Chains A and B, each alone.
Chain A
Amino acid sequence: MGEENGKKVRRLVIKDIEKCVGCGMCMYACSRRKGEAGIDSSGILAVSLSGFERGATVIFCRACVEPPCAQVCPTGAMRPREGGGVIYHETDCIGCGNCIEACTINAIFRRRDGKPAVCIHCGYCADYCPHGVLAYEEVEPEAFRRVIV
């Protein structure tokens, strides 16, 4: 474990969630990666904690070692990825939404076309978080599971 194709696994991680200001810069970065201005394909969501007076947080995939979302996928479009998390094959996906239901932390989002948007841990957004909440780092999957979201 901890290796993917002989390399260490890198994942999007949270350094200090209490610093999140809810700006959504990360969320816009994620869709921009795909050439979109907006958030349709974003695998990360910035939310307030029942109103901004209570602060803000982000929700994204925490790279399960045994991903429930992949287990319920009827077509194999959502597949477990070695070292944790998932790989998503859009062309195999029928948009049934099972994966969206299955993720306990609600980290899969529904795009306008009904298909899922999920974080694939590419790390692009981390550079756009201005407040030190996110980072892209090498992790031990087991250690990563212990990170408090």
Chain B
Amino acid sequence: MLTKVLHVDLTRYRYWVEDRRDLFEEWIGGTGVAVKLMRENMDPKVDAFDEESTIVFAVGPLNAAYPLASKTVAMFKSPLTGNLGESHAGGRTSTSIANAGYGAIVIRGKSKKPVYIVIDNDRVYFRDARVLWGIEDSLIVARIIAENEGGRGTRSVMRIGGAGERLVRYACVTTETYRHFGRLGLGAVLGSKKVKAIVVMGRGSRKIKDRKAYREIYDEIFKLATESDAMKKYHLLGTAVNVKPLNEKKGLPVKNLKATSFEYAEELSGEKMAEIIGRRVACSHCPVACIHIATLRMPYENEPYFYKTLMLSYDYEPIYALGTMLGMKSREDFLKVLYKVEAYALDAMTTGVCLAWATEALERGIISEKETIVKLEFGNSDAYAEAVKYIIHQPNEFYEVLAQGVEKAAEVYGGKEFALAFGGNEMPGYHTGYAAHIGYSIGLRHSHLDNAGYSLDQKIDSYPKPEELVERLMKEEQWRQILSSLVVCFFARGIYKPDVVCRALKPVGIEIDEDGLKKMGEKIYFEKLRLKKDMGFDASKLRVPDRIFETETPHGKLDRSYMERALRYFAEVVEKV
């Protein structure tokens, strides 16, 4: 069992290791353990950028032991929402942490000067990063660090770009070029601590007592992953396959959700993107290799016959946020903006929603070009690429505000009706019905992936009572607390069903039955909700933008009273916690 917790104190440049078997026995790992470590190490009321603000990276019992157990949970105070931040990333993060022998890493304090942290198995080094500070392209940062450090093939390089340094409140942390702790601004928290990167090198193993049982269940999972249909969607076109059906059903947010079908959807579809796939890569210990990388070949501006070729990974979410939401007419236009967002290491979803709001605000005359500097218009990729730069450099007050998210921007400039945020976090790409939107509102990390509302919408013909829908969403999310405590990729949720999870846990030393797992999910869920409450979460104040009710969904237009009843019911649940 992975029971060690590594503590890193940036204020005093110290580190120490604790054995926390108690914690892992009671809370499994990942999300479960991270909630407790946040509680233990940080006053829930402190500001995200405060010295006391804490970051937890946690893995679980299945990481480095089974295929598709490839994720790390990051927990922190979100500078975007002011509440609990949680984001998950793959790459080599989880296997490096687990193979280094840790169940969790807790980072506290604030460095005086820029540093990057190197965790080389059982040792920690603080490296001078003054020379790296100011390098805004996160890919370059990683290349330099990779040259400097050892551990090739066993390391994860988690780093920030210009966005994190400049405290853009939706800066992400990028790892292994293509994976991200994307949402809720972890990059800015690292930036505030003057940490340019965290390198984790792990070369180790856990001894398994019952080898035979281990190999048996391993092979069963491996077969499910490679031979059954469970992972087919991700193995084939990937999540980008969603573009066409969502467009046909009118669930695709277009131009700041003014519409849900788009004449250029075909251009941005998974099928069309697949034509320019340059290669595929995988997270560590994953046979699926869902990372689709597109090639964007671009001529030099002034020299004929010179080209640069960019390799950019895409998924449905960035296509939605930087493609359809911004009215892009071609995959190349979309990729050009994505390139900027990736280089600076911004969260693609929030960036897209912010720019879409700004475009509509400009159209309506709420703001002018004095604010936006560049003329934002749907479909104009050059303008958006320019605006991304302004979000980083914040040359005027408008971009200073926009760098704080759409909720804040609408508070200052107006246009709340079409500022698409839920609980202060920008909307994911599914305008599929009540379940999706209620899910964003009540989800514990406001992610479409937590609550599965979007898939429920697509299965449901007629909606049950709002209270019942809330109950169903909560149940599903409770189960997903287990998945994120193990920590498996949510794409593999069709493989890691309760009975498989129980059998996989046994060889790694955890005996639990299906009923026990379900109860554990509930327990983690409510513990997290309690932490959110202590951080100031108030369910009775949840705001649903008017735009949600104005635009067609696959279920027709939505009715505010249904939503409100659902949210009222949830607020009562929270009240009792």
Binding site for B on A (CB under 8 A): 21-25, 27-28, 31-32, 35-41, 45-48, 50-56, 59, 109-112, 128, 130-131
State in angstroms the CA–CA spacing of A38 and B207 once bound together.
9
Q: 3 tightest A-B contacts by CB?
A: A38-B205, A36-B205, A23-B282
B496 lies within 8 A of chain A by Cβ = no
Instruction: Specify which chain A residues have a CB less than 8 angstroms from the CB of B152 in the assembled complex.
Output: 45, 47
State in angstroms the CA–CA spacing of A54 and B146 once bound together.
14
A38's nearest neighbour on chain B, judged by CB, is B205
Instruction: Specify which chain A residues have a CB less than 8 angstroms from the CB of B419 in the assembled complex.
Output: none
Instruction: Specify which chain B residues have a CB less than 8 angstroms from the CB of A52 in the assembled complex.
Output: 176-178, 281, 291
Instruction: Specify which chain A residues have a CB less than 8 angstroms from the CB of B208 in the assembled complex.
Output: 35-37
Instruction: Specify which chain A residues have a CB less than 8 angstroms from the CB of B98 in the assembled complex.
Output: 38
**Beta-carbon contacts under 8 Å, B262-317 to A:** 279-289, 291, 293, 311
Selecting from B211-219, B386-394, B522-530, the interface stretch reads B211-219
Shortest Cβ distance from residue A117 to the other chain B in the assembled complex, whole angstroms: 9
Shortest Cβ distance from residue B226 to the other chain A in the assembled complex, whole angstroms: 5
Q: Is the CB of A24 within 8 A of B95?
A: yes
Q: Is the CB of A37 within 8 A of B289?
A: no
Q: Is the CB of A36 within 8 A of B206?
A: yes
Shortest Cβ distance from residue B369 to the other chain A in the assembled complex, whole angstroms: 36
**Would A23 and B289 be within 8 Å (CB), given that A36-B208, A50-B146 are in contact?**
yes
B121 lies within 8 A of chain A by Cβ = yes
Partner of A40, one of B204, B279, B311: B204
State in angstroms the CA–CA spacing of A36 and B98 once bound together.
13
State in angstroms the CA–CA spacing of A31 and B289 once bound together.
21
Shortest Cβ distance from residue B86 to the other chain A in the assembled complex, whole angstroms: 25
A131's nearest neighbour on chain B, judged by CB, is B289
A28's nearest neighbour on chain B, judged by CB, is B285
Instruction: Specify which chain A residues have a CB less than 8 angstroms from the CB of B291 in the assembled complex.
Output: 52
Instruction: Specify which chain A residues have a CB less than 8 angstroms from the CB of B280 in the assembled complex.
Output: 21
Instruction: Specify which chain B residues have a CB less than 8 angstroms from the CB of A111 in the assembled complex.
Output: 203
Instruction: Specify which chain A residues have a CB less than 8 angstroms from the CB of B222 in the assembled complex.
Output: 128
Interface string of B205-235 (1 = CB under 8 A from A): 1111001001100100010001000000000
**Would A21 and B214 be within 8 Å (CB), given that A40-B203, A48-B176 are in contact?**
no
Instruction: Specify which chain B residues have a CB less than 8 angstroms from the CB of A48 in the assembled complex.
Output: 153, 176-177, 281
State in angstroms the CA–CA spacing of A105 and B280 once bound together.
25
Q: Is the CB of B215 within 8 A of A32?
A: yes
B485 lies within 8 A of chain A by Cβ = no
Q: Is the CB of A24 within 8 A of B285?
A: yes
Q: Is the CB of A130 within 8 A of B226?
A: yes
10 A-B pairs with CB atoms under 8 Å apart are A22-B284, A23-B283, A23-B284, A24-B95, A28-B67, A40-B204, A47-B153, A48-B176, A48-B281, A56-B281
Q: Is the CB of B64 within 8 A of A38?
A: yes
A130's nearest neighbour on chain B, judged by CB, is B287
Partner of B142, one of A31, A47, A51: A51
Which of A40, A52, A112: most chain B CB closer than 10 A? A52
Q: Is the CB of B203 within 8 A of A109?
A: yes
Instruction: Specify which chain B residues have a CB less than 8 angstroms from the CB of A53 in the assembled complex.
Output: 139, 177-178, 293, 311
State in angstroms the CA–CA spacing of A48 and B91 once bound together.
11
Q: Is the CB of A51 within 8 A of B177?
A: yes
Instruction: Specify which chain B residues have a CB less than 8 angstroms from the CB of A39 in the assembled complex.
Output: 64, 95, 99, 154, 203-205
Shortest Cβ distance from residue A126 to the other chain B in the assembled complex, whole angstroms: 13
State in angstroms the CA–CA spacing of A32 and B208 once bound together.
9
B410 lies within 8 A of chain A by Cβ = no
Instruction: Specify which chain B residues have a CB less than 8 angstroms from the CB of A32 in the assembled complex.
Output: 214-215, 218
Q: Is the CB of B205 within 8 A of A25?
A: no
Beyond A37-B508, A51-B177, list 13 extra A-B contacts (CB 8 Å): A21-B280, A22-B282, A23-B282, A24-B153, A27-B153, A28-B64, A37-B205, A38-B64, A38-B205, A39-B154, A47-B153, A112-B204, A130-B287
B113 lies within 8 A of chain A by Cβ = no
Shortest Cβ distance from residue A34 to the other chain B in the assembled complex, whole angstroms: 8
State in angstroms the CA–CA spacing of A136 and B517 once bound together.
40
B65 lies within 8 A of chain A by Cβ = yes
Instruction: Specify which chain A residues have a CB less than 8 angstroms from the CB of B287 in the assembled complex.
Output: 23, 25, 128, 130
State in angstroms the CA–CA spacing of A25 and B69 once bound together.
12
B287's nearest neighbour on chain A, judged by CB, is A130
State in angstroms the CA–CA spacing of A131 and B508 once bound together.
28
State in angstroms the CA–CA spacing of A21 and B280 once bound together.
6
State in angstroms the CA–CA spacing of A40 and B281 once bound together.
23
State in angstroms the CA–CA spacing of A23 and B282 once bound together.
5
Instruction: Specify which chain B residues have a CB less than 8 angstroms from the CB of A27 in the assembled complex.
Output: 153
B209's nearest neighbour on chain A, judged by CB, is A35
B143 lies within 8 A of chain A by Cβ = yes
Instruction: Specify which chain A residues have a CB less than 8 angstroms from the CB of B64 in the assembled complex.
Output: 28, 37-39
A23's nearest neighbour on chain B, judged by CB, is B282
Shortest Cβ distance from residue A108 to the other chain B in the assembled complex, whole angstroms: 13
State in angstroms the CA–CA spacing of A51 and B284 once bound together.
14
Partner of A23, one of B205, B214, B215, B285: B285
State in angstroms the CA–CA spacing of A55 and B211 once bound together.
33
A113's nearest neighbour on chain B, judged by CB, is B204
Shortest Cβ distance from residue A27 to the other chain B in the assembled complex, whole angstroms: 8
Shortest Cβ distance from residue B175 to the other chain A in the assembled complex, whole angstroms: 10
**Beta-carbon contacts under 8 Å, B418-467 to A:** none
State in angstroms the CA–CA spacing of A49 and B508 once bound together.
33
Interface string of B135-155 (1 = CB under 8 A from A): 000010011001000001110
State in angstroms the CA–CA spacing of A54 and B178 once bound together.
12
Instruction: Specify which chain B residues have a CB less than 8 angstroms from the CB of A54 in the assembled complex.
Output: 311
A106's nearest neighbour on chain B, judged by CB, is B152
Instruction: Specify which chain A residues have a CB less than 8 angstroms from the CB of B139 in the assembled complex.
Output: 51, 53
